[in-house]
A = this chain, B = another copy of it.
Amino acid sequence: MSLSIKEASERLGIPPHTIRFYERKGLLPFLQRDPYGNRIFEERDMEWINLMIWFRATGMTVAELEEFVELAVQGDSTIPQRQDLLEKHKRKLQERQRELDRAFEAVNMKLAKYAEIQNGKRK
């Protein structure tokens, strides 16, 4: 039960060209071709691509994902390194969270200032 790129793209929710782009970037090293050169998508490919999409959604860059993929193709022995990568990514997410908190504070301060001006006017 293998899919064409179009069917795969529909099931994954991303355009065919994005799949090709990911392949060119080295994120999809398992993709096979049929005798005409067309890509064939098996179930395990679909799961892999979904994982890539999922990681992208967490803010991992394509370059970081490529590192990850390179480790993954070497088998389970590289799981510790992959854990490291994920931990590093997690720390980056934490930093983003702190930045976001500071941004909230800044916006709220400015809003408070505006509210003050508006109150002053109403006096």
The complex places the Cα of A107 from the Cα of B88 at a distance, in Å, of 11
- A21 at the A/B interface (Cβ < 8 Å)? no
Would you call A32 an interface residue if the criterion is a C-beta within 8 Å of the partner chain's C-beta atoms? Answer: no
Main SS class of interface, A? helix
One of A3-11, A33-41, A51-59 at the interface? A51-59
Residue of B nearest to A105 (CB): B58
Q: How many residues of A contact B (CB 8 A)?
A: 32
Q: Does A87 contact B (CB under 8 A)?
A: yes
How far is the CB of A77 from the nearest CB of chain B, in Å?
10
- Enumerate 30 A-B pairs (CB-CB under 8 Å) in ascending A order: A57-B99, A57-B102, A57-B103, A57-B106, A58-B102, A58-B103, A58-B107, A59-B100, A76-B117, A79-B114, A79-B117, A79-B118, A82-B114, A83-B111, A83-B114, A83-B115, A86-B107, A86-B110, A86-B111, A89-B107, A90-B104, A90-B107, A90-B108, A90-B111, A93-B104, A93-B107, A96-B100, A97-B97, A97-B100, A100-B100
